């Protein structure tokens, strides 16, 4: 049998390819300290990352907005993982500085990894279309979903809160590169997010070997995901187009753990697609079969063609 497993302290556990056995027994993050922003409920990508990080041997703190904490499920996660929860609005540099100060105190030293798993667009929420954006709301979208990543890294760096060779990750979406109907101003936020990863990745890498990357994830059924217009169709389309199918939140969390680990020490300033191959596809047979059923123009109730 292939030696496909990992060292579990003394004994090497052989795993068959495609084994259902949990890979995280590898303890890839043994002794590491992390801060995870954005776990809201069990569906959240950050929730899965938090669980897997602890399973892989890390100690963590969790952060989300006071409102998200009041809404409620994060406390249960904190208890389960023995992780302190530090409230913060990610647009507030004071709140962010406090998260890093408290986290280094609680965890007893510098932080080895940070996850930014935060996104929100008031324009999407209020159903303002891209050709009718409210600009105050656009500023909020960019601040919450992208500039907060800059604020986070800037505060952590000023406090020297990240250890040498640490790993900082944010979650992105392919709408940063290509246009997806309905993704709205979040596309602009994701483009900015990815750019911040490159710009800060240069500074922090040169200075302290800290890696800064984004993972561009498949459509995923979470609270933020279901706010995207036509999410069900988008999810199905991406699934039919991707040779490996859509990546789940669980699988995304696995990728995050590898990116936090010492196995990816020289990966930085990248936007890493974690999408079952979607971003390299043009047309798949499954998608073609689906769309050959009707090539009619899409019309509204008055018969007007909509170029959506
Ligand atoms: N779900 C998808 O289809 C998908 C695909 C690609 C990328 N992503 C990205 O993954 C990340 C996590 O989203 P998710 O899908 O797990 O949904 P989610 O709704 O579970 O997580 C979004 C989080 O952002 C937090 N948040 C919102 N405003 C905030 C603020 N001002 N300060 C701090 N936190 C704030 C929310 O409380 C919530 O915990 C987001 O960046 C999202 O854009 C999601």
pLDDT digits (tens, 9 = 90+) for 136-161: 999 999 999 999 999 999 999 999 99
- Judged against a pLDDT cut of 80, whether residue 3 lies above it is answered with no
**Going by CA atoms, what residue is nearest to atom 17 of ligand 1?**
224
How would you classify residue 296: left for phi > 0, otherwise alpha for psi between -120 and 50, otherwise beta? beta
Q: Residues enclosing ligand 1, CB less than 6 A?
A: 38, 40, 44-46, 64-65, 68, 89-91, 117-120, 144, 171-173, 217, 219-220, 222-225
Ligand 1 pocket test, pick from 85, 94, 192, 222 with the greatest ligand atom count within 8 Å of Cβ, gives 222
Handedness of CA 212, 172, 217, 78 (dihedral sign): positive
| Helices 135-142 and 186-208, axial angle in degrees (round to 10) | 30
pLDDT reading at 2 higher than 50: no
Q: Give residue 98's pLDDT band: very low, low, confident or very high (50, 70, 90).
A: very high
pLDDT attached to residue 71 = 85
Whether pTM > 0.85 for this model: the answer is: yes
The span from the CA of 295 to the CA of 88, in Å, is 48
User: What is the whole-number distance in angstroms between the Cα of residue 294 and the centre of ligand 1?
Assistant: 35
Query: What CA–CA distance (Å, rounded) separates 308 from 303?
Result: 14
CATH assignment, 22-287: 3.40.50.720
pLDDT at residue number 9? 41
Q: Please compute the mean of the pLDDT values over residues 154-180 and round it to a whole number.
A: 98
- Report the atom number in ligand 1 closest to the C-alpha of 45: 16
Cβ–Cβ < 8 Å for 182, 7: no
Instruction: Enter the tokens of residue 277.
Output: 């191959």
Judged against a pLDDT cut of 80, whether residue 294 lies above it is answered with no
User: Measuring from atom 43 of ligand 1, which residue has the nearest CA?
Assistant: 119
Asked if the model's pLDDT at residue 12 lies above 50, the reply is no
- The number of CA neighbours under 13 Å toward the Cβ of 299 is 8
């Amino acid at each position: 049998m292939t030696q496909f497993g990992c060292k579990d302290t003394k004994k090497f556990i052989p795993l068959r390819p495609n084994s259902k056995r949990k890979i995280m027994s590898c303890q890839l993050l043994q002794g590491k300290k992390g801060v995870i922003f954005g776990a809201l409920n069990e569906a959240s990508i950050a929730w899965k990352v938090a669980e897997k990080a602890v399973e892989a041997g890390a100690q963590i703190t969790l952060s989300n907005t006071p409102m998200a904490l009041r809404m409620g499920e994060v406390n249960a996660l904190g208890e389960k993982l023995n992780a302190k929860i530090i409230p913060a609005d990610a647009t507030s540099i004071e709140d962010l500085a406090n998260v890093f100060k408290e986290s280094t105190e609680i965890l007893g030293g510098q932080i080895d990894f940070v996850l930014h798993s935060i996104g929100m667009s008031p324009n999407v929420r209020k159903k303002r279309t891209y050709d009718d954006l409210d600009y105050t709301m656009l500023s909020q979208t960019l601040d919450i979903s992208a500039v907060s990543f800059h604020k986070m890294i800037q505060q952590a760096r000023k406090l020297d809160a990240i250890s040498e060779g640490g790993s900082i990750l944010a979650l992105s979406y392919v709408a940063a590169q290509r246009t997806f109907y309905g993704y709205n101003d979040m596309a602009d936020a994701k483009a900015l997010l990815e750019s911040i990863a490159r710009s800060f990745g240069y500074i922090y890498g040169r200075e302290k070997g800290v890696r800064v990357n984004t993972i561009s994830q498949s459509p995923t059924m979470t609270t933020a995901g279901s706010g995207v217009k036509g999410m069900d169709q988008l999810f199905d389309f991406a699934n039919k187009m991707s040779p490996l199918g859509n990546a789940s939140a669980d699988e995304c969390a696995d990728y995050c753990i590898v990116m936090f680990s010492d196995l990816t020490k020289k990966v930085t300033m990248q936007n890493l697609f974690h999408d079952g191959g979607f971003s390299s596809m043009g047309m798949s047979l499954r998608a073609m079969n689906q769309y050959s059923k009707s090539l009619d123009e899409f019309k509204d109730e008055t018969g007007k063609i909509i170029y959506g």
